Amino acid sequence: MGFTVDTSTGADKQELYAGLVRQLGGLLAGERDPWANTANTAALLYALLPNLNWAGFYFLRGGELVVGPFQGMPACVRIAMGRGVCGTAAAERRSLVVPDVHAFADHITCDTASESELVVPISSGGRLIGVIDLDSPLPARFDEVDAAGLGQVAAMIAAGCDWQLAGIDTF
């Protein structure tokens, strides 16, 4: 099966995310493996969303977030719950739009080129699985439209995977 990323949109962000969600639905159809689905999702996000330098996942394992499939520069491997943007979003179970990572008191620098960040928790059955993390080399790259669009992606990933196959914790 071949897959072509459709980037032929001169559309606004909401239309961009609607197209991304359609393409993600095609990628997830008939596949329940969390690693396969999150690897393809990271690649799709990185290919479709402009001005990213990192797109990927962190999963709850052993009480901390551990890097999962991603696209971009090598990443921090482990992040404590409540630390940095990812750990804070996970602990508080809420999306975080950070226009200036240097102004975020507990930011963890993995890639010095990152200027802004968006992190959205992934939950299934009321239990936290992990987070989706996007970084950009542009300040203020992300807004509430991005948070809502990535929230749809998180919901699709949560519902589209058999998490018992992944060996991750939930809380």
Instruction: Dump pLDDT digits (tens) for 6-17.
Output: 544 445 999 999
The single-letter DSSP state of residue 77 is S
Instruction: Dump pLDDT digits (tens) for 70-79.
Output: 999 999 999 9
Residues of the chain with pLDDT under 50: 1-5, 7-10, 171
The superfamily in CATH containing domain 13-165 is GAF domain (3.30.450.40)
The single-letter DSSP state of residue 22 is H
Alpha carbon distance 82, 119 (integer Å): 13
pLDDT at 140: 97
pLDDT at 127: 92
And the tokens for 101? 């990572």
Angle between helices 34-48 and 13-28 (to 10 degrees): 150
Instruction: Dump pLDDT digits (tens) for 99-109.
Output: 999 999 888 87
Percent over 90 (pLDDT), the chain: 81
